[in-house]
Amino acid sequence: MKSTPRPVDREIARFRAIVRDSANNLLIADGPVNADAALLDLCAEALHLLRQAEKTQAEAYALFHDGRPWDDARREESNRLGEERERFVKKAKPLLSKIRKLRATTGGGIYAKALVVRSSVTGAAKLAMSLAEDLVACSELRATLWPPDREAQP
């Protein structure tokens, strides 16, 4: 049985806070600027839209499986919810393409990309490949596998 991933609302809020802090630090030259701020911003928005699509789908599922008789009004509501879900997914798709094109250089960026892949409707194969490339390119991750006194493996 597949477990349901927990909602990502907390992560969305954190990504947006990092982006806001980075923008402020860049403007006033006070503090660090996150190298993945643009990526985190796109991921937060994509996750928000995908989360809304997920909530809408859950509403439609509850409507369909509540045991009450199916009538025209309920069918219309189900269709409306389906269309609303598709609108959220359609708005998220261009963001997924932009996310795929940005390289994650920090742990936070890699984590954000992974959440988007997990939340995507189709699994986003190209985005997943982009994430895999970021993971392989991450020198900090490789350093956890091969300590400095050992030669890195290809």
Q: Which single residue is written with the structure tokens 């509403």?
A: 59
152 neighbors 139 (Cβ within 8 angstroms): no
**For the chain, domain boundaries:** 9-145
Tokens standing for residue 146: 């091969």
Q: Where are the alpha helices (DSSP H) in the chain?
A: 9-28, 37-64, 72-101, 107-119, 125-137, 139-145
What global pTM score does this model have? 0.74
Residues in Cβ contact with 44 at an 8 Å cutoff, skipping those fewer than 6 apart: 12, 15, 16, 19, 112
- Tens digit of each residue's pLDDT (9 = 90 or more) over 7-49: 677 888 888 888 887 777 666 666 666 778 899 999 999 999 9
Which of 124, 136, 121, 118 lies closest to 100, judged by CA? 124
- Tens digit of each residue's pLDDT (9 = 90 or more) over 64-96: 788 888 888 888 998 999 999 999 999 999 999
